[in-house]
Structure formats: structure tokens, C-alpha cells
Amino acid sequence: TIVLKNPRRRNALSLPMLQSLRRDLLHDVQSRELRVIVIAAEGPVFSSGHDLKELSSEDDVKHHTQVFELCAEVMTLIQKLPVPVIAKVNGLATAAGCQLVASCDIAVASEKSQFATPGVNIGLFCSTPAVALGRSLPRKVALEMLFTGEPLSAHEALMHGLVSKVVPEDKLEEETMKISQKICESSKSVLALGKATFYRQITQDLDTAYKITTKVMVDNLTLRDGQEGIEAFVQKRKPVWSH
């Protein structure tokens, strides 16, 4: 579990916070014991997005570029990791904070959570959050959020596909752990192959997607755990994964 822990600054994704998040995401990533990553936060705000003090005219273009490039790197890294990444959201997620939720593989939110891209209200359109948002939400829903800055409630976010589940606040930890434990019952190598393939095929046309996934299904069968799973099913026993 990675916890965003700067509630006094509304868990802003400052340059040091992004550097720390990147470091933590990569920590022990090749370890067989690492099976799932949960991103949570302290305080009433999951993350308010970029630290606007870093984006003032006092800093030069080079610094601004560094902030946005690192943020993009972290967001894309999440989908490149070999294990599922779950956002556990209990509060407000705005701008790049909303982008972080949209970038995770799964998102579980409490009923009090809200999601917004209010950059337009301060003259800084949420163009980089729009990348993740536009790939998670229907276009017209994403554009309404981006054009107005108005928040989605947790249940609206669920209805439109920004989050996977919405639960009462006192059930958030339990539900997140339930999903995590279910993931841990499967083979890490099989999940890693499946996750990488999902993101590879989702941007392709239908024929290309089927060509990619047909080959991957064959490759999956050559994995040790691919064979173990089928043998265990045929023999009516529980598989013993090598990961």
C-alpha cells in the first residue's frame, strides 16, 4: 500500500510527491511476493492535483515541463507495472488527482468521494488529466467535466465508469482488501501477461486486437502456470502457482 501523506497540502502531486510515488511504485516490483498495489491517501482529499505554487511564473518553462513530464511518466508507469494497481479513494480527487484515479487499473471509492477537473476555472485547462479521463469516461461526460469544472459524485463516477465500486466509508478498507485478496489467488505471471495485453490491444482496431490476443492466448499456454491451471482443473484440484 502506498499512502499519499501530505494532507495539509491536500496531497498535492508536487514534484517531490511525484518522485516519491514513482520510487514507491517501482519498489520491489519484480519481487514474486508483490501481487497488488493499493494507492490510498490521508485526510479528506485524495489528491488536489498539481501544486500550483510550482506552476507560477516564478519558475521557468524548464521546471514546468519537468513537472508535467514526470506526472505523465508516473501515470503511464501504473499501466506498465506487472501487478494490478487499485486506487482506494476516500474524499475529493481533482485535476491530476482525478487523473491518478483514472490511470489505476481498478478504483474503489467511498460514497463521500467526488471527482473533478476544475483547471478551467483558474485558467489552466486540465489537458493532461483529460488523457486518462477521456480513456475512462464517455467523451461527452469527460468534456462536461473538463469544460465546467463541476464534480462528479461517487455514484455518478461509478455509473460512467471512472470507478469500479462505491461503498460506504466504513466498508472501503474491507472491499479494497477483498478485491486485493482475490487477485492474490491467481498466478502473478498470468496476470502480468493479461494486464500488458489488455492495454496493448485496447487501442487497436478489432482485427488487430484479435490477432494480438490470439497469439497471447497461445503464449499463455506455454507458461508454467498456464499448464498448471489447466491440469489442476482437469484433475479437480486447486492449482499450485509458481508465479
Please report, as a single letter, which amino acid is at residue 16.
Answer: P
Q: Residue 109 falls within a domain, yes or no?
A: yes
pLDDT in tens, the chain (243 residues): 999 999 999 999 999 999 999 999 999 998 989 999 999 999 999 999 999 989 887 778 999 999 999 999 999 999 999 999 999 999 999 999 999 999 999 999 999 999 999 999 999 999 999 999 999 999 999 999 999 999 999 999 999 999 999 999 999 999 999 999 999 999 999 999 999 999 999 999 999 999 999 999 999 999 999 999 999 999 999 999 999
Q: Among residues 61, 71, 62, which one has the least CA distance to residue 20?
A: 71
Q: Residue 28 falls within a domain, yes or no?
A: yes
Instruction: Indicate the number of domains in the chain.
Output: 2
Residue that finishes a domain, picked among 184, 206, 222: 184
Looking at the fold, whether 227 and 165 belong to one and the same domain comes out as no
CA angle centred on 36, ends 35 and 41, rounded to 5°: 150
Q: Residue 179 falls within a domain, yes or no?
A: yes
Q: Among residues 35, 45, 30, which one has the least CA distance to residue 1?
A: 35
Looking at the fold, whether 57 and 148 belong to one and the same domain comes out as yes
CA angle centred on 215, ends 209 and 216, rounded to 5°: 85
Looking at the fold, whether 113 and 224 belong to one and the same domain comes out as no
Looking at the fold, whether 197 and 175 belong to one and the same domain comes out as no
Q: Residue 164 falls within a domain, yes or no?
A: yes
Looking at the fold, whether 67 and 180 belong to one and the same domain comes out as yes
Domain hosting 165: range is 2-184
Looking at the fold, whether 55 and 118 belong to one and the same domain comes out as yes
Looking at the fold, whether 139 and 223 belong to one and the same domain comes out as no
The rounded distance, in Å, linking the Cα atoms of 117 and 113 is 14
The rounded distance, in Å, linking the Cα atoms of 26 and 128 is 22
Looking at the fold, whether 157 and 175 belong to one and the same domain comes out as yes
CATH number at residue 91: 3.90.226.10
CATH number at residue 194: 1.10.12.10
How far, rounded to the nearest angstrom, does the alpha carbon of residue 96 sit from its chain's CA centroid?
A: 12
Res 56: pLDDT: 82
Looking at the fold, whether 36 and 122 belong to one and the same domain comes out as yes
Question: How is the chain classified by DSSP, letter by letter?
Answer: -EEE--GGGTT---HHHHHHHHHHHHTTTT-TT---EEEEESSSEEE--S-GGGGSTTS-HHHHHHHHHHHHHHHHHHHHSSS-EEEEE-SEEETHHHHHHHHSSEEEEETT-EEE-GGGGGT---HHHHHHHHTTS-HHHHHHHHHH-PPEEHHHHHHHTS-SEEE-GGGHHHHHHHHHHHHHTS-HHHHHHHHHHHHHHTTS-HHHHHHHHHHHHHHHHHSHHHHHHHHHHHTTS------
Looking at the fold, whether 67 and 176 belong to one and the same domain comes out as yes
Q: Residue 241 falls within a domain, yes or no?
A: no
Looking at the fold, whether 200 and 104 belong to one and the same domain comes out as no
Please report, as a single letter, which amino acid is at residue 110.
Answer: S
